[in-house]
Chain A
Amino acid sequence: MTGLVLVVDDEFGIAELIDAVLTDEGYRVLTAANGRQGLAVMTKDHPDLVFLDYMMPVMDGAEVLRAMVSDPSIDGVPVVLMSSMPEAMVAERCSDYTAFMRKPFKIAQVTTLARRLLIQSDST
């Protein structure tokens, strides 16, 4: 399994957990602690998939999604938006994400989503 995954989350333990799980699965993983850092990594390293937290300092998930759309070099990269809030509430504030993962999540959800979205992005 190949692919570069970026995890953007201010919650230390969560970013570390997703990093560890996906590294075990054979992916390369980068992490960032806020939206701005995440965006910088995206434009530099062009990940194949992004796990993006919604509520973050400096720049939140909604702003990151808007910035991605306006940057052709990263527009279209699949994004798993993560939040403790229900999807309906998050969806009111942002769109253009590929999948939603409600926190707290299970490890199996992370691996399933990664597999599914990386295969899709391979095939497109």
Chain B
Amino acid sequence: MSEDAGGGLERLPSGIAGLDIILGGGFLKGGLYIVQGPPGTGKTTLGNQLCFNHIVHGARTLYVTLLAEYHARMMQHLSIMSFFDISKIPDQLTYLNGLRVLHDEGLKGLLALLRREITTRGASVLVLDGIVSARRAAEDEQAFSEFVHELQGVAVATDCTMLMLTSGQGTKLTPEHTMVDGIIELSDQLTGWSAESSLQVVKFRGSAFLRGRHAFKITSDGIVVHPRIEALLARPSRPDTGISGRVSSGIDQLDVMVGGGLPASSTTMIMGPSGTGKTTLGLQFLAKCNEAEPGLLFGFYETPARLDAKIAAVCQPLRGLIDSGAVEVRWQPPTDDLLDAYGERLLQAVHRRKVKRLFIDGLGAFKQASVIEPSRIGNFLTALMNEMRVLGVTTLYTLEVPDIMGPTIRTPIGDLSSLAENLILLRFVELGSQLYRLISVLKVRDSQFDASLHEYVTSGKGLIIEATADSAQRIMAGYSNQKGGNPLPANQLREGHNLL
């Protein structure tokens, strides 16, 4: 324990990884905190999880209920949780009920009980569940303030970290809210049929914390909190060293078109309707990986089996790289999880293997996961992509666009094209009875590039792009005549697609 009374305050990690990140390392030892939220939001789970996480290190904890769940019932409910360990009860975690003392002896009696139990048991965590009963038992506001004040005194004098759980909501200024060292609010938000739980630290004395709401889930491992990616990465984890150089896209002709390869550590969006070969292009990009330049496929739509078949059909060299571990494939169903859970998993997978080439297939899944708060997606991706840049990761991601044919393209995700440093468009053009595929580069970071359309075909070796724009020119001229208009030059296409 620190002898320096004026120095940094010691932390008591909650053991809930995401929450500890949000709190900047955990609760402060000897602090008094409120956890509030409507019934069913997970307060009791959080309180118990803190106790069980803490006793792993041999500590003792105390869970005191007032008007709350019966202990036996609570234990039955908790018994399905992975952290629950009945063998730790009662020596390391003791459940007590203070309602009767409160009833018979008032707040003074309850305070005396808490102080005695903390000191005799040497408890370093106290959870007081159902604090509203204590508030009701108080003669007046002053009496309750004094109780909170004295409890805080006990917390400091015993180094016991205290959580008061209450179903109270909102930012109503009650004495306890102004007095405590921190307030964590849990809430449920409903959008259509889906619900998302979120947590907000509304006050935390003595430390910086990640402000705003953060999504969480209650799983069999207890509460799992996902810090909001844009808050977590509000500043990228390291300075942007402006890594220069070029990285092969995986297709020689595309490298020529973008001015000698993609800029290193840049982000490239591949837009196009379904079936144009966006995933194939991404696979070719990953096929340039090696041990020194590991790759990651973070995919949502193609299941592992379908992906394997695709690799066998259009990008065989990638097979060996996956088998040797130079490329990792992480697949998840797009409907499965929270936006920040995806973000967290992506970051972890990138960090773990020091990934240098990342292919995200596709962006639509992030949008789907942000249905509760659609306005977040822009900031979320900006933060994520900024982090990828400073980590030296060159990123490709796909975005499916609804229009199958024709020169005008609409994107389903607002103005996200502005997020990408490089923009590549794939599309179909129908001419006579023939269906052609055309690729064009719409922008490349800080580079001169070939803006003309090129025809390409998909083959067993991936996308094969024409070396010149001639055939594309003929196709577009024919398309234009077919439509009775003028030929549409490539640079006009840029203005035509209304997302830029």
Within 8 A of B (CB), among A1-55: 10-15, 33, 54-55
Tell whether, in the assembled complex, residue A55 and residue B99 are in contact, meaning their CB atoms are under 8 Å apart. Answer: no
Residue of B nearest to A90 (CB): B90
A120 to B: closest C-beta gap in Å: 26
| Nearest A-chain residue to B109, judged by Cβ | A33
Query: B100 and A103: CB pair below 8 A?
Result: no
Are B96 and A10 in contact (CB-based, < 8 A)? yes
Enumerate B73-112 residues with CB–CB distance to A below 8 Å.
73, 75-76, 86-87, 89-90, 94-101, 103-104
Whole-angstrom CA separation of A11 from B70 in the bound complex: 8
A73 to B: closest C-beta gap in Å: 26
Residue numbers in A under 8 Å from B75 (CB-CB): 84-85
Size band of the interface chain B makes with A = 20 to 34
Contact between A33 and B104, CB atoms less than 8 A apart: yes
Chain B nearest CB from A52 CB (Å) reads 14
Q: Does A68 contact B (CB under 8 A)?
A: no
What's the minimum C-beta distance from A75 to chain B, rounded to whole angstroms? Answer: 25
In the complex the two chains form, is A12's CB within 8 Å of B99's CB?
yes
B86 to chain A: closest CB distance in Å?
6
User: Chain A residues near B94 (CB, 8 Å)?
Assistant: 55
Q: Is the CB of A12 within 8 A of B97?
A: yes
CB-based contact A104/B100 at 8 Å: no
Is there contact, CB below 8 Å, between A60 and B72? no
B-contacting residues, A89-104, CB 8 Å: 89, 102-104
Given A33-B104, A104-B76, A57 contacting B117 (CB threshold 8 A): yes
Closest to A15 in B: B100
Q: How far is the CA of A71 from the CA of B71 in the complex (A)?
A: 31
B71's partner among A55, A57, A58, A89 (CB-CB below 8 A) is: A55
B205 touches A (CB below 8 Å): no
Q: Known: A11-B70, A13-B70, A89-B87. Contact between A57 and B113, CB under 8 A?
A: yes
Taking a contact as CB atoms under 8 Å apart, the answer to whether B73 and A104 are in contact is yes
Contact with A along B391-402 (1 / 0, CB 8 A): 000000000000
Chain A residues lying within 8 Å of B65, measured Cβ to Cβ, are: 11
Interface of A is mostly: loop
Give chain A nearest CB distance to B472 CB in angstroms: 75
Q: A54 — which chain B residues lie within 8 A by C-beta?
A: 90
B-chain residues with CB within 8 Å of residue A15 when the two chains form the complex = 100
Residue among B71, B90, B117 making CB contact with A103, cutoff 8 Å: B71
Is the CB–CB distance between A58 and B113 below 8 Å?
A: yes
Residue A67 is within 8 A (CB to CB) of chain B in the complex: no
Q: CB-CB < 8 A to A10: which residues of B?
A: 96-98, 100-101
B114's nearest neighbour on chain A, judged by CB, is: A57
Q: Does A113 contact B (CB under 8 A)?
A: no
Are A89 and B116 in touch, CB under 8 angstroms? no
Give the Cβ gap from B276 to chain A, nearest Cβ, in Å: 61
Closest 4 CB pairs of A and B: A103-B72, A84-B72, A12-B99, A104-B72
User: Which A residues form the contact surface with B (CB < 8 A)?
Assistant: 10-15, 33, 54-58, 60, 84-86, 89, 102-104
| Cross-chain pairs A/B with CB under 8 angstroms, 18 sampled | A10-B96, A10-B98, A10-B101, A11-B97, A11-B99, A12-B100, A13-B99, A33-B100, A54-B90, A55-B89, A55-B90, A55-B95, A57-B101, A57-B116, A60-B90, A84-B75, A85-B86, A86-B86
List chain B positions with a Cβ less than 8 A from chain A.
65, 70-73, 75-76, 86-87, 89-90, 94-101, 103-104, 113, 116-117
Q: A33-B100, A58-B113 are in contact. List 12 more A-B contacts (CB 8 A).
A: A10-B97, A11-B70, A11-B97, A12-B103, A33-B101, A33-B104, A55-B90, A84-B75, A89-B86, A103-B70, A103-B72, A104-B70
